[in-house]
Amino acid sequence: TTTPTRHLYDVVVIGAGGAGLRAAIEARLAGKKTAIISKSLFGKAHTVMAEGGAAAAMGNANSRDNWMVHFRDTMRGGKFLNNFRMAELHAKEAPERIWELETYGALFDRTKDGKISQRNFGGHEYPRLAHVGDRTGLELIRTLQQKIVSLQQEDFAATGSYDARIRVFQETTITELMLDGDRVAGAFGYDRESGDLLLFEAPAVVLATGGVGRSYKVTSNSWEYTGDGHALALRAGATLINMEFLQFHPTGMVWPPSVKGILVTESVRGDGGVLRNSEGKRFMFEYVPDVFRKQYAETEEEADRWYTDPDDNRRPPELLPRDEVARAINSEVKAGRGSPAGGVFLDISTRLPAEQIIRRLPSMHHQFKELADVDITKEPMEVGPTCHYVMGGVEVDPDSGAAFGSVQGLFAAGEVSGGMHGSNRLGGNSLSDLLVFGKRAGEHAAAYLDALPSRPKVSRVDVAAATEVALAPLARADGENPYTLQQDLQAVMGDLVGIIRREGELSDALKRLHEIRLRVATVAVGGGRRYNPGWHLALDLRNMLVVSECTAKAALEREESRGGHTREDFPKMSPQWRRVNLVCSLDEGGQVHLERKPVPAMRPELFDLFERSELAKYLTDEELGEE
């Protein structure tokens, strides 16, 4: 049948990672009937893969830490392009969200005196990441799921039905948002196993769909991350900001080829691991940029002392923000000092006793043994950059997560939203971001509903249109192969919109993406609707494509290098460009439109948290004068 099964909800949360689950809990606590939808099995979201930890200035490992230090680190990491209000809320609320998780049943690793332990990570001045070994995301997801189950048990006791007020639809893909005028009216999608069509009618939708990594071949992201939420938002009239900023994590596996891109957690460096080139040199000392010079050690001796005496020594340069380390590795490999498989060496084996490595980094030990036959307690790993995280995303109101643009009733939280991390995210700041802004989005979606005078309606015409689009690849007798298209798209993005960018290549990328767009419009797949991966990919492709167009277009427009956007032809950061957000929208013909918008100015009391000499490295004279 082509008639979708209808479901009625107050709030539909698309995505069952940390952001989605936290939003759903909050909406349900506010009394709203809530649906949680996920493409994969419940519990399989990206969040579960997070290894290192969640950053929160609890001050357990160093009592000097507080929200102001965390705020400063986040702004520095993002090179001051962050939405300051989001960075402020995040730094202030993260500790509370972590403690709250323990009330849901989480159990983080402990310090000797029984407090939540905190570990070092790149760009964080003090040890700040709450963690559970190197499997933190698993604990986060497990706990949030447990909380949802406990709410369902309460509902069962009250109503006789577990699903009365919160229900999970797993292996379900949303392909379109439904609108009533400029208000959200629901979401349309399909069950991946049966291929049955589904219509969720709801006045409020929270996007929590995560990232876009699958547009690149070498990525730490899994198959689901095709930028669906970004594209759904665009098509519904919302805007995306700063899509040029992608984080290439410095350490992905580079060998064997079948696992290229899989993440090697930053905790390896946080716990003492060092990077060396083929000459055995710890090359990161050569790559400390001026803006960070004061905070990083100049000699190996000082760097090594820091692990035991952080108050009197400066941090090792291996712990610079990720963009710096990724670029440094890229340069070493390019200069012919790379490892045999085209990366560099990451060594923990000569830095910690084997039993400590196994205790602190159990997953890494297992991962290298299983996938590469490398024993990390005895030999170095080979690592290189991998596409990991998108800083750009849905432009939102910082306090509520409500999407900007022409649409109402749409909220976004977690990786799919933009602004919080500026041009580069610090490790550990995502897990805390999910909790802080997931909660806020759920709360504000519920409040939006309370203030709504009437329930928006889904129109039959829109449902018919969404149905036609969803079934089109199956209806075509022949056409383009989705797998070929994905490979072609990945080649364009990896080769021309990768870690180092140039004008000519970016223009070329846009031309090629345009050709791919025409081909995506004719994609065809054989078989039926029952679990048909080719069909699923065919539908994901148009999302990957439009998001990639935003990235390429913004990357061409931004004539500077900052965080996750490096232009070989404009190698410096520009204080003028720091004032600019690049905003993507779709015009009526579905073409990507780019606009410049001013970055909101920081409030004076936040301004005062920095020394003027530091601000002078980022801001224009005019901004410094205005203060």
Phi, psi of 15 (to 5 degrees): 120, 130
Q: Which pair of structure tokens corresponds to residue 290?
A: 């001026």
* Contact pattern from residue 223 through residue 262 relative to ligand FAD, giving x for each residue in contact according to CB under 6 A and a dash for the rest: -x---xx---------------------------------
Strands 34-37 and 54-55: unpaired
User: 11, 12, 13, 16: which one contacts ligand FAD (CB under 6 A)?
Assistant: 16
What SS3 class is residue 4?
coil
**Bridge pairing between strands 410-412 and 393-394:** unpaired
Residue nearest to ligand FAD (CB): 17
Residue 165 is among the residues annotated as catalytic for this protein:
no
Among 11, 13, 33, 38, the residue binding ligand FAD under the rule CB under 6 A is 38
Smallest separation (angstroms) from ligand FAD to the CB of 413: 7
Compute the distance between CA of residue 266 and CA of residue 262 in angstroms, rounded to an integer: 13
Question: Angle CA(469)–CA(201)–CA(472) in degrees, nearest 5?
Answer: 10
Binding status of residue 395 toward ligand FAD by CB under 6 A: no
Side-by-side strand order, sheet with 172-180: 5-8, 197-201, 183-191, 172-180
Q: Find, among 403, 419, 440, the residue nearest to 97 by Cα.
A: 440
Do residues 523 and 409 touch, judged by C-beta distance below 8 A? Answer: no
Which of 13, 32, 52, 197 touches ligand FAD by CB under 6 A?
A: 52
Strands (E), 344-492: 344-347, 381-390, 393-394, 410-412
- Residue 192 is encoded by which pair of tokens? 């991946």
Nearer to ligand FAD, 360 or 512 (CB): 360
51 binds ligand FAD (CB under 6 A): yes
49 binds ligand FAD (CB under 6 A): yes
Question: Does position 46 bind ligand FAD by CB under 6 A?
Answer: yes
Active-site residue (options: 269, 365, 425, 565): 269
CB of 497: closest distance to ligand FAD in angstroms? 20
Residue 139 interacts with ligand FAD (CB under 6 A)? no
Of 49-57, 156-164, 281-289, 596-604, the window that binds ligand FAD (rule: CB under 6 A) is: 49-57
Active-site residue 97, yes or no?
no
> Which residues partner with 347 through β-bridges?
274
Residue ranges in 598-627 that form contacts with ligand FAD under rule CB under 6 A: none
**Does residue 118 bind ligand FAD (CB under 6 A)?**
no
Of 430, 486, 490, 548, the residue at the interface with ligand FAD (CB under 6 A) is 430
Of positions 87, 130, 151, 174, contacts ligand FAD by CB under 6 A = 174
Q: Which is nearer to ligand FAD, 187 or 509 (CB)?
A: 187
| Gap between the terminal Cα atoms of the chain | 63
Q: Is 396 helix (H, G, I), strand (E, B) or coil?
A: strand
Cβ burial, residue 245 (10 Å; 0-12/13-18/19+): buried
Q: Which is nearer to ligand FAD, 145 or 349 (CB)?
A: 145
Identified catalytic residue from 192, 249, 315, 542: 249
137 contributes a contact to ligand FAD by CB under 6 A: yes
Q: Which is nearer to ligand FAD, 67 or 225 (CB)?
A: 225
Element (H, E) at 130: strand 129-130
Residue 123 lies near ligand FAD (rule: CB under 6 A): no
Using CB under 6 A as the binding criterion, the count of chain residues that bind ligand FAD stands at 43
Nearer to ligand FAD, 50 or 524 (CB): 50
- Distance separating alpha carbons of residues 608 and 78, to the nearest angstrom: 18
Beta strands in 192-289 (DSSP E): 197-201, 204-207, 240-241, 246-253, 274-276
- Chain residues binding ligand FAD by CB under 6 A are 14-20, 37-40, 45-47, 49-54, 136-137, 173-174, 208-210, 220-221, 224, 228-229, 263, 389, 414-416, 427-431, 434
Residues annotated as catalytic are 249, 269
